[in-house]
Amino acid sequence: MLKSTTPADHIPFVNSEADCHILHTSYADARIVRLPLLNAERLIARIPTGPRRWIDPELDGLHHWNAAAPQYTKYIKTFARHEQILDEGFQKKPQKPVVREFVNAVLDTCSIIQPAWLTVPQLPVITDVTRNKLNRELAEATREWATTNQFAGMLVLPVIFTHQAQLNLKTARTPKVAITAQCYALSGAKGLWVVDSSLMDQDGSKTLEQTRFPGVISMHEELRQTIPDAVVIGGPYWGLNLVLWAKGLISHPGIGLGNRYQFHLSGGRLLQGKTRIALDCLKRLVIVDADLQVWLGDAIKTVAPTDPAHFEFTTLLSRFSTLLHANTNRDQIARTYKKWYDSLATVPLPGRALALYQQFSSAYVLGKSLPDLPEKGTARRPERIAQQLMLACL
């Protein structure tokens, strides 16, 4: 089958030079890429020329200001009036001239990079309403800036949730949808970026299938009903972003580049994660260590030689030593994820959710026949991740 030359809907989140390498090798067909303003000038020279630029000033990091990394705090301090924006008393009673000066400083800096898309300055969602006034003022100031500067690109309103309690129940979601609609209208945005920063969709916990996945899906359904014409980005996640895209609830799945399949608030001090690889036949990630090497050997004996999983496991085992290196494993995950995305992109939207369901169903059936993975908790069952995401497709 010939590869389509049509730009892909996925939006890679590019944060580093290593991300730029993977963007070139696996995701150069993206329509648009998200770049953080802090590193944008350094990264632009390293990305492909095809995708357009979505610049994000990453103000979501103000949510955990006291724990932010020094580089991030230095960056934020370059913007006029940041002290007032950080003040909780000011957030409850914001002053328009102060907010306008801050927004102008942020967006003037973004505009130097000539973005096609631009994130509206906003603070992340919290459980109470104390940020609502400030977010409305930030949205209104953004519209004034865009009008004054004749910004021709698309404004994207970020809706970044910070706790599952904001999404799980309709009584909590309804006011969040309302404030989102208000800020969307005030800002003049044409896009929404919606992500739950507290959601790790591969931990295998029961609350994912019973509460959390339904909550995120319902939020997107309610936003789609309230703001039907918005361009919507969802994620990054590992699989839930693809579920939302397959169901037609988002226009673009936000994706990691071989890592970061959970959105972390900007400016934080990220800990070094464990080395992982992707198991395509199971639609999941697994930790790479000596125990996995043993598991692959056992799994090969369980699977029929004619099964594609047999070839996959055999190939991984034969090159296992190379997969212990971070760069190699990231490339492997990125290529596997791209193959997965492309297999769905060839399916017309009306049948995409069913196609994804069938993929997860096949992974579930295979996983049920395999021994436990050397993972902790409920995620040790090979079929667990596919099982939970399969149910979310319905």
- 3-class DSSP string for 248-313: CCCCEEEECCCCCCCCCCCCCCCCCCCCEEEEHHHCEEEECCHHHHHHHHHHHHHCCCCCHHHHHH
- Tokens 């030593």 belong to 321
pLDDT higher than 70, residue 140: yes
Q: Could you report the per-residue pLDDT of 50-77, keeping only the tens digit for each?
A: 999 999 999 999 999 999 999 999 999 9
Look at residue 2 in the predicted model and tell me its pLDDT: 34
Condensed to tens digits (0 to 9), the pLDDT of residues 115-124 reads 999 999 999 9
Amino acid making up residue 198 = S
Tens of pLDDT, residue by residue over 167-203, are 999 999 999 999 999 999 999 999 999 999 999 999 9
On the question of pLDDT at 126 being above 80, the answer is yes
pLDDT digits (tens, 9 = 90+) for 151-164: 999 999 999 999 99
- 103: DSSP letter: H
Q: Is the pLDDT of residue 4 over 60?
A: no
Q: Which residue has the tokens 């295979």?
A: 366
Q: What is the DSSP string of 22-75?
A: HHHHH-TTBSEEEEEHHHHHHHHTTS-SSSEEEEE--GGGGGGGGG--HHHHHH
